[in-house]
Structure 1
Amino acid sequence: MVRLRLYALCLAGDMAGLFGAFLAANYFVLGALWGEPGKPHGLIMFAMVAPLYALLAVQGGAYGINTLGRLRRGIFRALLALAQAAMLMLLIVYLGKMAEQLSRLTFVAGLVAGGVMLALVRVAVARLGDRLLGDVPLLTAVIMDGVTIDTGPHMAVLHADAAGLHPHRHDADMAARLAAAVGMAERVIVACPLERMSDWSAALKSLSARGEIVVPELLRFAPARIDEFDGQPTIIVAGGPLQFRDRLVKRLFDLIVAGVATILLLPLLMAAALAVKLTSPGPIIFRQPRIGKDARPFSIYKFRSMRSEASDSKAAKLTTRDDDRVTRVGAFLRQTSIDELPQIFNVLKGDMSIVGPRPHAAAARAGDSLYWEVDARYWERHCIKPGMTGLAQVRGHRGSTDDHQDLIDRLQSDLEYVSDWSVWRDLRIIFATLGVLVHHKAY
């Protein structure tokens, strides 16, 4: 009940904040709190935006548990709902031919001020929630019935025998005991032996909370989810780390960064190409097959840094320090990472991303073993596009892979990036890359 009141308070605060934001926009843009005579611009905009925002915010989870426990996510969802409401309002204004009747500057100012107010409301409600519910409300109840599992610090842990919970008794008394034991929890997790899972499955169905049963046997398939095909339950063991919207955002990010980089770096690209051409015979660009997204091969582009006759197109032998195959200009290009710059065109083609796991050659080895022979998780890094730079590179895991640990260190970072991607992380990695362009392992 307290959480419901907080959610209602958050919604009311959002409405008050948007109302005040558009009134303030009226005052600062038009010089009058209520707008021009006969043209209450801010009030009309608020009346159009507010109901659209409320509907989209509720639908988008801006008033869920994230408001209390995950402040930044709650603010992001509120701002996303406001942006969507603004787009819908613009569509309505356009179709209704009302654009000339409204002040564009008032609209923009109201939206900016409204976004600030939405964030402030969530900060205030989150602090109030901390006072009333504690740092994290107990929304998860864990019932241990003969099986012990590790739990977090903010969970209600129940032992079935101590609480008098006997799932094989499918009667009213058992249902009442279970409801009283879990209280207002929104998620109930049961750890029990395999033979009691069906009894607990029946018992949990009487609750309005989401009921789950720990199945240790599924760990071999983790991370996994449940779905169905033609009425039969299935285990989803792979689905890609990025949703369709995330893939679109990442692709747009790649095109913008690669396009700007191509323009800014054009003089450097031309100078490097000229240096390669004038100092050794052979092609300027070196192409080599690499493993890309979905483990599909593609040709990676680099400035040629080795003598043409000594180039290793299959990467059967990794480059070593003071490698006699590398030309004098090539050594400089490799030490400064300039030899990697043509991969901007791989990004524009769609073979690569600006940020992602670095692409490997199929014949590359760690010690005497092929990469996928070292760690069974190796192929998980290929569920997204490879990158010009990556988390492993900014952490210093680059150069030759002389032993298994060299690959494992890179793989750990690659899998961390794959499972926790965001545009902001890509930006941080790009800026961090600037500090490791010249590196003692770049040879």
Structure 2
Amino acid sequence: MTVSKEVVRLRLYALCLAGDMAGLFCAFLAANWFVLGALWGEPGKPHGLVMFAMIAPLYALLAVQGGAYGINTLDRVRRGIVRALLALAQAAMLMLLIVYLGKIAEQLSRLTFVTGLVLSAIAVTLVRIAVVRLAGLLLDDVPHLTAVIMDGVTIDTGPHMAVLHADAANLHPDRHDADMAARLAAAVGMAERVIVACPLDRMADWSAALKSLSARGEIVVPELLRFAPARIDQFDGQPTIIVAGGPLHFRDRLIKRLFDVIVAAIATILLSPMLIAAALAVKLTSPGPVLFRQPRIGKDARSFSIYKFRSMRSDASDRHATTLTKRDDARVTRVGAFLRRTSIDELPQLFNVLKGDMSIVGPRPHAAAAKAGDSLYWEVDARYWGRHCIKPGMTGLAQVRGHRGSTDHHQDLIDRLQSDLEYVSDWSIWRDLRIIVATLGVLVHHKAY
């Protein structure tokens, strides 16, 4: 028996909500036990129970409003966790405000509150992971959430998608009748999202056909790839394509900047012995400054001075990067060769991050005169400037994929650019963390010279 989408949503809402409430309840009971030594709190002071009674309804309202529940938790559990934790943080702030205004702070244990809040965060995270594991058992007749209809155009699809061919499914969008609407609804089943790949001259027909569905309908427009990453908006009632304006919202930029400052500050402190040792090695083995400064192209294509430990002879340093470093380059000193192989020469860029010129993770900054083969970078690929809409990074997606070193051929740059644009269009703080971890495995690299 096929279950309707509405029933699926209700099951998921009920499952997640019940799990969250149980998790919060157990978390604050456990906080009572850890802090007060009594499961139900002290006589006359039921700290954990009072806190649960205050924070639970606030959390439930904020979580529902913030999209922490729903069918999308099946496909995007990480997003569900983030939204749940955000709702929990907001509920905690509101509870503190109520406690302050009600002048009842003296009656509640601060340590119990903090302990309960931490345990609650763990609980709502585990609930969502459990929902994903149990979904197949509890909702065994729920089909794919995304349906892709190919009508004369073939596209690549990921997992967890139902792929339909219009002719085989007898779907003809130019027939605007009840039978066509019924066949389309039956073909896509309970999909929440329907993607159509079709020729340009059939888009209008598919647009009309998709409007009969309760699912979200989308049409693939390959012509828009040259404008990617792009979004749709409108001006004075006319649809527009947003082709620029930065990939990160203000909140994302703030999160990324805080992340950069915290990581750079901690790394500078922890790596200070290595920084001092490298500086002494450079100073004692060859005449000239310890640091090498070079103009690089940064965010918004603005120039900034990048910092590195000097790895070349002072008289042979190429400040404008007119000649890229090659293997066994005669300009590189013996200490400099070691610093390059181990990527230690890049560590002074931590100060670039603290200054705000760079990020920990992002597209690597290039010199304006750098070339791929015999062509300047932006002459090789018209998409080149798309990588400058965010700050450059000490490491990036291209680097952990092995696209580093000299760019002797056009393809060397194109490979690097593909990864940079992918990072720009699909940024998340979790991806930054994964790239940082992956960077540890490529610090010593055969292309680092």
TM-score interval, smaller chain = 0.7 to 0.9
1:289-348 deviations in whole A, cap 9, x for unaligned?
111122221111123333333221111111223333334443443344333222221111
The aligned counterpart of 1:212 is 218
CA deviation after TM superposition for structure 1 residue 233, in Å: 0.8
CA deviations 1:235-285 (Å, max 9, x no partner) are: 123343333222222211211222223233334434443444444444333
Matched letter for residue 75 of structure 2: G
Distance 1:158 1:385, change over 3 A: same
1:338 maps to 344
The reply on whether 1:67 has 2:73 as its aligned counterpart is yes
1:432 and 1:164, CA in 2 relative to 1: closer, same or farther beyond 3 A? Answer: closer
Pair 1:412–1:40, CA change in 2 (3 A): same
Letter in 2 for 1:300: I
TM-score (ref. length: structure 1): 0.87
> Which residue does 1:354 correspond to in 2?
360
Residue equivalent to 1:250: 256
- What is the deviation of 1:403? 2.4
Q: After the TM superposition, which of the residue ranges 363-372 and 48-57 deviates more from structure 2?
A: 363-372
Indicate conservation of the 8 Å contact 1:352/1:386, yes or no. yes
Contact kept, 8 Å, 1:137 with 1:154, in 2: the verdict is no
In structure 2, what residue type is equivalent to 1:205? K
Task: Report the Cα offset of residue 349 of structure 1.
Answer: 0.8
Please tell me whether residue 387 in structure 1 is matched to residue 393 in structure 2: yes
Does residue 1:325 correspond to 2:331, yes or no?
yes
The AA in structure 1 aligned to 2:260 is D
Q: What is the match of residue 292 of structure 1?
A: 298
CA contact (8 A) 2:9 2:70 kept: no
**Following TM superposition, by how much is the alpha carbon of 1:148 offset from its aligned partner in structure 2, in angstroms?**
5.8
For residues 371 and 140 of structure 1, do their structure 2 counterparts lie closer, same or farther at Cα, with a shift above 3 Å needed? same
Tell me how far apart the structure 2 counterparts of residues 106 and 388 of structure 1 sit (CA, whole Å): 41
1:234 deviates by: 0.4
In the alignment, the residues of structure 1 paired with residue 444 and residue 153 of structure 2 have an alpha-carbon distance, to the nearest angstrom, of 53
Which range is displaced more, 412-421 or 224-233? Answer: 412-421
8 A Cα contact 1:69 1:136, kept in partner:
no
Q: What percentage of residue pairs aligned between the two structures are identical?
A: 85
Moved more, 141-150 or 400-409: 141-150
Label 1:210 to 1:245 Cα distance change in 2 as closer, same or farther (>3 A): same
Greater displacement, 318-327 / 285-294 = 318-327
Give the 3-state SS of the residue equivalent to 1:261 in structure 2: helix
1:158 to 1:46, Cα distance in 2 relative to 1, 3 A: farther
Q: 414-423 vs 314-323, which deviates more?
A: 414-423
Q: Which 10-residue stretch deviates more, 119-128 or 16-25?
A: 119-128
After TM superposition, give the deviation of residue 204 of structure 1 in Å: 3.5
Partner of 2:109: 103
The CA distance in 2 between the partners of 1:88 and 1:252, in whole Å, is 24
Contact 1:163 1:181 in 2 (8 A): no
* Secondary structure in structure 2 of the residue aligned to 1:114: helix
Aligned mates of 2:443, 2:97 — CA distance in 1: 47
- Give distance in 2, aligned partners of 1:149 and 1:93: 56
**Aligned equivalent of 1:234, options 225, 240, 244:** 240
Partner in structure 2 of residue 225 of structure 1: 231
Aligned twin of 2:20: 14
Distance 1:34 1:231, change over 3 A: same
Provide the rounded CA distance (Å) in 2 between the counterparts of 1:270 and 1:193.
Answer: 62
Distance 1:80 1:442, change over 3 A: same
- Measured in 2, the distance between the counterparts of 1:417 and 1:146 equals 31
Q: 1:173 and 1:435 mapped to 2: Cα distance? A: 58
1:283 and 2:289 aligned: yes
Task: Name the structure 1 match of 2:166.
Answer: 159
Question: Where in structure 1 are there 5+ consecutive unaligned residues?
Answer: none
Aligned to 1:404: 410
> Is 2:148–2:161's contact at 8 Å kept on the other side of the alignment?
no
Quick one: distance in 1 between partners of 2:152 and 2:312? 64
State whether residues 374 and 404 of structure 1, in contact with CA within 8 Å, keep that contact through their aligned partners in structure 2. yes
Q: How far is 1:74 from its partner?
A: 2.4
Deviation at 1:164, TM superposition (A): 6.8
| Distance in 1 separating the partners of 2:213 and 2:148 | 14
In structure 2, how many angstroms separate the alpha carbons of the residues matched to 1:165 and 1:109?
59
2:384 aligns to what?
378
Give the Cα–Cα distance (whole angstroms) in 1 for the partners of residues 315 and 398 of structure 2: 31
1:155 partner amino acid: A
Hey, what does 2:270 align to over in structure 1?
264
CA contact (8 A) 1:165 1:178 kept: no
In structure 2, stretches of 5+ residues that fail to align are 1-6
User: Structure 2 matches for 1:160-175, cutoff 5 A?
Assistant: 163=170, 167-169=174-176
CA distance in 2, matches of 1:39, 1:399: 65
For 2:202 and 2:411, how far apart are their aligned partners in 1?
43
2:3 maps to what in 1?
A: none
What is the CA–CA distance in structure 1 between the aligned matches of 2:163 and 2:328, rounded to whole Å? Answer: 61
Letter in 2 for 1:95: L
Query: 1:127 is matched with which residue?
Result: 133
Contact 1:357 1:390 in 2 (8 A): yes
Q: Distance in 1 between matches of 2:326 and 2:248?
A: 36
Residue pair 1:29, 1:106 contacting (<8 A) in 2 also:
yes
Q: Secondary structure at the match of 2:271?
A: helix
Q: Deviations over 1:362-382 (max 9, x none)?
A: 111222222223333333322
Deviation string 1:31-66 (CA, Å, 9 cap, x unpaired) is 433322322222221121111111221122211223
Residue type matched to 2:24 in 1? Answer: L
TM superposition shift of 1:149:
5.4
Q: Distance in 2 between matches of 1:296 and 1:111?
A: 44
Q: Give SS of 1:48's match.
A: helix
Instruction: Check 1:308–1:133 CA distance in 2 against 1; reply closer, same or farther (3 A cut).
Output: same
Whether 1:85 and 2:86 are equivalent positions in the alignment is: no
Q: Are the structure 2 counterparts of residues 326 and 9 from structure 1 closer, same or farther at C-alpha, using a change threshold of 3 Å?
A: closer
- 1:138 match: 144
Is the 2:32–2:39 contact (alpha carbons within 8 Å) kept by the matching residues of 1? Answer: yes
Aligned equivalents of 1:399 and 1:123: distance in 2? 40
Q: State the secondary structure of the residue aligned to 1:155.
A: strand
